[in-house]
Structure 1
Amino acid sequence: MEQIDMKNKITTCILMLCYTCTVWAQTQKATIEIVDTTEGLPLIGAHVCLISASGEKHYYSSDAEGKVIIPLKEKMQCTVSYTGFKTKEFFLEEEQSIKIKMKPDLLMLDQVVKTASVEPESVDQSIYRIGIISHDVLEKQGVQNVRDALRFQPNINLVEDGVLGTQIIMQGLEGQHVKFLIDGMPIIGRQDGNIDLSQIDMSQVDHIEIIEGPMSVVYGSNALAGTINIITKENKYYKWSGTASTYAESVGQLNANMSVQGNKGKSKYGISGGYRYFNGYDLDKSDRRMDWNPKNQINADAYYGINLSGWDTKFGIRVSREDLLFKGNYLQPYRAIDTEFITDRITYSGQFNKKFNEKSTLSGMVSYNTYTRTSQEYTVKEDLNTKEKRDAYNVDEFTTLNARISYGHQFTDRLKWQVGYELTDETGKGGKVDENSGLIENSIWTDVKLNITDQLVFQPGMRLIHHNIYDTPLIYSAHLKWNNEDGWGSRLSFGKGFRAPSIKELYMDFVDSNHKIFGNKDLLPETSYNLTFTVNKTVNIMDHSVLKFDATGFFNHLDNIIETVASDTGEFYYQNISQKRTQGGTFSVNYNHNNRFKMNAGVNLTGISYDLYNTSDFQYRYSIDFVGMLSYFWPKVDLSMQLDYKYTDKRVQLMAGADENNPIEGVTEAYNMLNYSATKNLKNKRFSLTAGVKNILDVKQVANTTQSGAHGSGSNMLIAWGRTYFVSFKFNLNKI
C-alpha cells in the first residue's frame, strides 16, 4: 500500500514538474529596448510588428522607457518602425534581450504610402513622386482642416469664397482636375467643380499623400493634375487608445475632438467625434453682411474591422454637418434677409484585403456617399433676433456609389502586375437640379511594373471606360523611374486623361446673391495630356545631415475644357472652350540635420494659356511663387518650433465673354503668408501643447478683378482673416 502511495506521489511530482516546465516555456519573454542612435534617448510609442511562421501578425508599442516585453513561443520576424527613423527588420527569439538603435530617416524614404498601389510600399519604392505631409507636421502647424494643411505646399494655390469655401489650384488647373480621396475612397460634394477644403476635418488624419501628375489610369476622372489621399488614423499597436483635444483661435474659432480606438483578438474598432465653431469675421463693420460667414460643424465617425482566415476587413461610417449663416444687409431700418446653408455628408464604407501568398494580393473597397445641401431664407425682424421663414427653400441631394476591386501579382523579382475594376454611379436631384439625373461609369484598368535593371523601372498602364452618356477614349499612361547609388534620381510620367461633365455642370443652376452659374446639357467631355518629370540629387553630409535638390517640370494640354462663360446679360454658364495649356516647374532645396534642424526652400513657376476661340494662339501668363520652412526640435525638452512662409505671385486669367473679340481678363495681386508655431510634449507625450501665430503679416484681402464674374461683384479677393493667435491642447492615453 505504501509502495502504491509512493508511486502516486512520484507520478504527481513528475506531472507538476512537466506542467511547470510547460508554463515556463509558454511564458518565455523577449525584451526589445528602442533608442535614438544619436543621443541614446528612448523612443516612446515605437511600433513593433511580429510575424509568425504562419503569417499571423502581432502588434506592440514601446513604453515610456522605450521598452517592449513580448511573450514568445517561437522565433518570429520582427519589424520596428518610428516616425522619422529608418525601419529595422530582424528575427527575434525566445528569451532574447536586444537593444535597437534607430537611425534618423532624414528623407523619409521608409515612410509607407498607400496611394495607387494594391499593397502599401515605401516612398522610395513607389514609381510615383509622392509628397507626404506627416502627422508630425500637421501637429506642429496646428492644422484643423485640409485648407490649413495645403496652404504652404509648393505648386498648390488656394482660392477663398464666402459661400463655396476654399478651393484648390494644382499645376495651374482648378479643383475639378484634382482627385480627393479619404483612405482611397473618393470625396463627393463639389460646388462649382471644387471640394470645400475647409469642411474636411483633420482631427483623425494620420498623414496626407500628394501625387502631382497624371493618375487617370488608376483613379479615372478628376485625376489629371494630381491626387490627394487623406489617410486616417488606425490603432494597431495598443489594446486601446484615446485622445481628446481642444483648439482656440483669436478670430473666434473653437474646436473640440475626442476619439477612442481599440483592439481585441482579431477585431479592431474606433469611434470619434468633434465640434467646430466659427463666429465669422468681417472687414467692414458698417453693415451686417460678413466676409467670412459664421458657421459650426459636427463630425463623427466609427469603424469596425476583423481579420478572419487572412481576410482583413473593415467597415465604417463618417458623418458631418455644417451650418453656415449668410447674413444679408439691411433692406430698410431693422429688417434684413438671411440665408442658412446646411451641408450634410454621410459616407458608408467597406474594404477588404487578402494576401494569398507572398506574391498575390486581392483588395477591394465600396463606399456609398450622400451629399445634401439645404438653403433656407429668413426674414430678420425689427429686433434683429426674431426670424421668420420665407418661401425660398431648396434641397439638393447627390449620391455616389463607388466600388473598386484590384488584384496584384508579382511574377518575378522584376515583374509586377495590377488589374482592377471600378464602378461609379452618381445621382442628383433637387430644386436647383434641372432634372433627376444620373451618371454611370464602368472602368477596367491595368498596369505592369517592370524592373528593367536595379536602377531603372518602367510602368505602362491603360484604362477602358464605359460611360452611360459619352463615348470615351482609351486612357493610358507611362511612368519611368531611375536612380543610382550616387544619390541621383529621376521620374518621368506621361498620361492621357478624360473627364466627363459632372451632374452639376450639366443640370444644376447655382444662383444666390454672389453666384449666377447655369448648367449646360450640351457639354462635351474634356480630354487631356500631361507630362511631368522630376530630377533630384541627394548629398549626404557626414553621418547625420542630408541635402536634397529637386527640380520638377510639367505640361498640361486640355481640349474642350469646361469653364464658366459670361453671357451678354451678365449671367454665367458652363461651356466648352477650345483649349487650355499650363506649364511650369519647381526647384527646391531641403536640408535636414539629424531631424533636429530642417530647412526647405522652393520656387515655383506656373504659366497658363487659353485658346478661347480656336485660333491656336497660346500666350502664357506666368507667375512665380516661393515657399520656405524652418524648424528646430530640442529633444531633451521635447520642444519643436516651426516657421512657414509662402509668397503667391500676381495671377492673370482670361475668361470667354459674350464678345468673341474681347475676352475678359482678370488679375489677382500678389501676397505673402507667414506662420509660426511651437509644440511642447509633456509627461512622456501624454500631453501636448501647441501655440502660435497665423498670418503674421496680417494679410486680409488683395486687389482682384477676376471675381467680378461668376463669383461675386467685389474688387477684392479674400485671402485670410488677418493676424490671429491660436493654442491647442491634446491629451493622449494609450494602453499597451
Structure 2
Amino acid sequence: MHILKYKPILFFSFLTCSLYAQETPKTSIDTTKLSEVVITGQFEPQSLKKSVFNVRVIKREDIERRAANNLADVLNQYLNITVRPSGTDGRSTVSMFGLDGQYFKILMDNVPIVSDSGLGNNIDLTQINLDDVERIEIIEGSMGVTHGANAVTGILNIITKKGSKKRYEVSATVQEETVGNEYAIFNKGRHIQAFKASYNINNNLYVSVGANRNDFAGFFDNKRGKNYSVNDSLRGYSWLPKQQIITNALVSYTKGTFRAFYKFDYFNENVDYYNSIVIPIDNYPFEPTYYSRDIRYKTNRNFHLLNASGHLFSQLAYTVSASYQKQKRDQERFNYYILSSQEKENNTITYLSREVLYSTGSVSNFFKDKRYDLQLGYEAVTEKGFASPASGTFRDEEQVGGVNRTLGNYDFYASAEIKCTDRFSLRPGYRHSFQSVFEDQNAMSLGARYLFGKGLEARASVGKSYRTPNFDELYSYFVDSNHNVQGNENLTPESSLSYEGSIKKETFFSSGLKLNNNLIASYIEVDDRISLILTSVTPSFAYRYMNVDKYKIVNVATSHQLAYKNFEAAAGLSLVGVSQLLDAGALDSISNSDFLYVLNGNASVGYNVPKWNTLFSLYYKYTGREQLYQQNTDVSNNITYSKAIIDGYSMLDASVKTSFLEKKLDLTFGARNLLNMKNINSTAGGSVGGVHGGGSGNMLLAYGTSFFAKLTYNINFN
C-alpha cells in the first residue's frame, strides 16, 4: 500500500473577461442572483456557491431540450466526458480523462447502481433511463472519502423526482427517431413510449409510477438484416437491435424535518445478435432452407432503495439508505430458420449476475457553532458475483457451471467542514475500508474554498483514493489451443492521488447580462494500475492481469457561460495530457512515459421566444485526436511499444422545444449528429486508455445524422 505522497499543488492564474467597472452594486447583484442548491458530497443541501467541491449540474430542462431518453443521450456533450459506444454488444460506457468507467462512479439518489461487472462502475449508459430524473450532479476528481472505492476520476449522482407542486400529474410521451437515414414504423429506427403519473395523497404522502419502452431496431448500414439468406457475410446488423422495458414506483413521506421514501426500478433489455454465417439445409427435391445460429442477450435489473433522513435530539442531522439490487444477464442461443422466420432449439443459461446488499448513512451537525461541522458516516457492501463459461472468459469450477464469489467491504469515514472566516472554508476527510478479499484500504482528502467577493470564488483540493480489482481481473480463465488469458487472485487495489484548483467568476450587469467564467487545473496519478500483460511467448502467447502500470493525467479546462434576456451561450476548452508507463512484467520491457495531449472543446447556444413558448438549442462537441502507447510483439516475438492514434471528431446536435394548449402539449424535434459521423480511424488495439496488444481499423462511433420528434401530453391539476 502506498503512503500519501506530498507533491506541489498546481498554481495558476485566471484573467476573467468580466469588466469590474461595469458591475452593478452588491445590493443589485444579490437580488438578481439565484442560488442553485446541490446535495452531492455535501453535509446537507446547500447552495452551489457554498460547496467546497466543483459541482456541475445538468437540469431537467437540459435533459428535455435534448429529448434525451437515457444517460448516453445527455452526457456526450460535456467536456472531459467521452461516451464510448459499441454497436457489437449494444453497450455505451463513459470515459473521463482517458480512464474508463471503472474509475468513474454512477449513483442514483446517492446509492451506486449495480452493473454486469460491479457496483457503480462500468455502467452501460443506455440502461439508465431519465424519465423520473430531476437533475444530475457531477463532481470531477477524487471522491474516495465520501463515496468509497472506484471514485477516482469523479462521481455522477442521478437525483430522481420525489414530489410535485400539483396534486395530480399525468404525462404520456411518444418519441420517434431515425437511425441514420433508416426509418420505418416497426422494423427500422428508434421508437419510444413513456407514461408517468403522480399523486399527492395529502400534505405528507406522495406516490408516483412510470413506465418506458425503448425499441431500437438496429442500424443496418451495409448489412441486410436477420432475414437475409445469402452466405456472403452481409446478414445481420452493424449496430445490434435492442428493446428495453423500464418501470418504476416511488412512495415518499414527509413530516416536519423527517423524510422517507421507497423507490423501486425494474429494467429489462433484449439485445439480438444475428450471425453473419448462413447454413444451408438440403431439402431435395425442393429448394434448400437456411438457418443461422443466433444469440439473444437478456438483462434484468431490480433496484430497491429505502431512505430516511431527519434530525436526532432536535439537532443532529442524519440520513440512512438501504438498497437491494440484482442484475442478471442471460444468454439465449437458438437456431433461426430464415425462410419461415422461426426460432428453434432455444437454450438459455445465466451469463453474468450481480447481487448486492448495500447500506450507507451519515450523521452531521454536531455543533451549535455554525463555524464548525462534522460528518460521521459508514458504508457496508456485500456483492455476490457469478460468471459462467458462456462468457468465454471463465472456467468451470468443480463442474458447477461457473465462478461464484462474494466480495465485501465495511467502511467508516469522517469529514469536517471548518469555516475559518465567512470567506474561507476547509474540508478535511478520512475513510478506512475493511476489505473481505484485499488488504484494508484508506482514502484521504483536503478541500478549501475562498470567496473573494464580487462573485470571485477559488477552490483547491488534494485527495487519495483507490480502485479495487473487478471480477474479470480476478477470476478470468480463458485457456485453449489458441488462447491463454488468466485473471490473478493476488491482485492488489490500485492507488491514486489527485490535485485540483479552480477559480470561478460570476458577473452581473445592470443591463441584465450575466457572465460566468471558470478555470480548472488538475493532476491525477494512478499507481499499481492493473493491465492484461504478455507474460510469455513460448510455447504460446500467455496473458495475465498484473499490477504493473502507472498512469498520470494533467488537465487544464476553461468554461464560459453568458445569459442575456432570452439568449444564452456557453463554450469550453480542455487540454488533457496523459502519461502511461506500460510494463511487460516478466519480459522486462517498459514503454515511453511522455505526456501525450488531447484538446477537447464544446459550445452551445439557446434562444427562447416567450410569445411562441419555443426554445431553440444548438450543441457542439469536439473531441481531439488521442494518442496512447500500446504494447506489441515483432516477428521475433520481442516486446515493442508504439504510439497508437485515435482520430478526432466533431458532433453537432440541434433541437426545438415548443408548447401548445397552455403547456398541456410539448413538442420537441431536431437532429443528432448533423455532421454525419459514423466511423473514425484508430490504430489502437484492445481497450482505449491503456493498451497491451495491437490492432487497427475503424472504430464504430455513431450511425450518422438522425432526426427525432418527441410529443408529450401533460395533465396537471390541483
Aligned-residue CA RMSD in angstroms?
2.6
Pair 1:463–1:131, CA change in 2 (3 A): same
Asked if the contact 1:335/1:382 (under 8 Å) is kept, the reply is yes
**Equivalent residue letter for 2:55:** I
Q: What is the CA distance between 1:417 and its match in structure 2? A: 1.0
Matched, 1:602 2:572: yes
**Which residue, 597, 617, 633 being the options, matches 1:642?**
617
Question: Match for residue 243 of structure 2?
Answer: 296
The answer as to whether partners of 1:146 and 1:200 remain within 8 angstroms in 2 is yes
Once the two structures are superposed, the pairs formed by residues 512-523 of structure 1 within 5 Å of their partners are 519-523=487-491
1:547 and 2:525 correspond = no
Query: What is the identity, as a one-letter code, of the residue corresponding to 1:172?
Result: G
2:211 maps to: 273
Asked whether the equivalents of residues 489 and 536 of structure 1 are also in contact (C-alpha less than 8 Å), the reply is yes
Please tell me whether the aligned partners of residues 179 and 222 of structure 1 are also in contact (alpha carbons under 8 angstroms): yes
Instruction: Read off the aligned partner of 2:655 and give its amino acid letter.
Output: S
Distance (whole Å) between structure 2 residues aligned to residue 638 and residue 103 of structure 1: 26
The yes-or-no answer on 1:262 pairing with 2:237 is no
Amino acid aligned to 2:529: I
- Deviations 1:83-139 (CA, angstroms, capped at 9, x unpaired): xxxxxxxxxxxxxxxxxxx9765xxx6222121224211211211110011111111
Q: Is 1:405 the equivalent of 2:361?
A: yes
Q: C-alpha separation between the residues in 1 aligned to 2:714 and 2:348?
A: 47
Out of 588, 613, 637, which is 2:559 matched to?
588
CA deviation digits over 1:308-341, x for unaligned, max 9? 6753211121100010001110244533221110
Q: Which residue of 2 aligns with 1:311?
A: 258
Give the whole-Å Cα distance in 2 for the aligned partners of 1:672 and 1:525. Answer: 36
Local SS of the residue matching 1:217: helix
Give distance in 2, aligned partners of 1:392 and 1:275.
24
1:517 CA drift (Å): 6.8
Amino acid at match of 2:647: E
Match of 2:711 in 1: 729
Provide the residue aligned with 2:126 in structure 1: 198
By relative contact order (CA 8 Å, sep 6+), the higher-ranking structure is 2
- Residue 282 of structure 1: CA displacement? 2.8
**Which of 362, 378, 388 lines up with 1:431 in the alignment?**
388
Q: What amino acid does structure 2 have at the position aligned with 1:666?
A: A
Q: 1:619 to 1:716 in 2, by over 3 A?
A: same
Spell out the pairing of 1:334-373 with structure 2 (5 A cutoff).
Answer: 334-356=290-312, 359-373=315-329
Residue 681 of structure 2 aligns to which amino acid in structure 1?
A
Aligned residue number for residue 18 of structure 2: none
Alignment of 1:153-552 (within 5 A): 153-161=78-86, 162-163=88-89, 165-191=91-117, 194-251=122-179, 252-265=189-202, 266-285=204-223, 287-307=234-254, 310-333=257-280, 334-356=290-312, 359-383=315-339, 385-389=341-345, 393-409=349-365, 411=367, 412-432=369-389, 435-508=403-476, 519-552=487-520
Amino acid corresponding to residue 239 of structure 1 in structure 2 = R
Q: Does 1:632 align with 2:607?
A: yes
Question: Secondary structure of 1:195's partner?
Answer: coil
Is the alpha carbon distance of 1:517 and 1:226 closer, same or farther for their aligned partners in structure 2, counting shifts above 3 Å?
A: farther
1:643-680 Cα offsets, whole Å, 9 max, x none, are: 00011111122234566741364321111100000100
- Work out the CA distance in 1 between the residues paired with 2:252 and 2:705: 43
Residue in 2 that maps onto 1:122: 47
Structure 1 segment 614-629 matched on structure 2, within 5 A: 618-629=593-604
Separation in structure 2 between the aligned mates of residue 539 and residue 309 of structure 1, nearest angstrom: 37
**What is the SS of the residue equivalent to 2:557?**
strand
Match of 1:407, SS state, is strand
In structure 2, distance between residues paired with 1:477 and 1:700: 42
Could you state the TM-score of these two structures normalised by the residue count of structure 2? 0.83
Asked whether the equivalents of residues 528 and 548 of structure 2 are also in contact (C-alpha less than 8 Å), the reply is: yes
Mapped contact 1:565–1:655 kept (Cα < 8 A):
no
2:6 aligned residue:
none
1:683 aligns with 2:661: yes
Residue 579 of structure 1: CA displacement?
Answer: 0.9
Contact 1:438 1:503 in 2 (8 A): no
Residues 165 and 489 of structure 1: is their aligned pair in 2 closer, same or farther, counting only changes over 3 Å?
same
SS of equivalent residue, structure 1 residue 280: coil
Matches of 1:668 and 1:551, distance apart in 2: 27
What CA distance in whole angstroms lies between the structure 1 residues aligned with 2:346 and 2:244?
Answer: 24
Contact (CA 8 Å) 2:632, 2:694: kept in 1 or not? no
Pick closer, same or farther for the CA change 1:217–1:384 going to 2, 3 Å.
farther
Per the TM alignment, residue 518 of structure 1 is displaced from its structure 2 partner at its CA by 5.1
- The aligned amino acid for 1:340 is R
In structure 2, C-alpha distance between the alignment counterparts of 1:154 and 1:536, rounded to whole Å: 17
How many Å separate the matches in 1 of 2:678 and 2:32? 40
Residue 223 of structure 2 aligns with an amino acid whose one-letter code is: K
User: What's 2:675 paired with?
Assistant: 697
CA distance in 2, matches of 1:381, 1:393: 21
Shift of 1:707: 4.5
Q: Higher mean Cα deviation, 714-723 or 356-365? A: 356-365
What's the counterpart of residue 38 of structure 1? none
Of 721-730 and 166-175, deviating more is: 166-175
Question: Cα distance, 1:357 vs. partner?
Answer: 6.9
The aligned residue for residue 39 of structure 1 is none
Query: 3-state SS of the aligned residue for 2:114?
Result: coil
Whole-Å separation in 2 of the counterparts to 1:708 and 1:528: 23
How far apart in 2 are the matches of 1:294 and 1:566? 35
Change (3 A) 1:183 1:570: farther
Q: Distance in 1 between matches of 2:298 and 2:43?
A: 37
Give the unaligned 5+ runs of structure 2: 1-29, 180-188, 225-233, 281-289, 395-401
Aligned with 1:547: secondary structure?
Answer: strand
Give the number of equivalent residue pairs: 629
Partner secondary structure for residue 143 of structure 1: coil
Distance 1:136 1:660, change over 3 A: farther
Q: CA distance change for structure 1 residues 571 and 175 in 2, over 3 Å: closer, same or farther? A: farther
Q: 1:352 to 1:368 in 2, by over 3 A?
A: same
Deviates more, 1:253-262 or 1:706-715: 706-715
Alpha-carbon distance change, 616 to 448 in structure 1, aligned in 2, over 3 angstroms: farther
Q: 1:537 to 1:118 in 2, by over 3 A?
A: closer
Q: Provide the secondary structure at the position in 2 that maps to 1:703.
A: strand
Percent identity, aligned pairs only, is 25
TM-score normalised to structure 1 length: 0.81
SS at match of 1:577: strand
Which is greater in Rg? Answer: 1
Deviates more, 1:145-154 or 1:166-175: 166-175
The one-letter amino acid of 2:59's match is: S
Q: Distance in 1 between matches of 2:77 and 2:626?
A: 17
Q: Distance in 2 between matches of 1:531 and 1:492?
A: 8
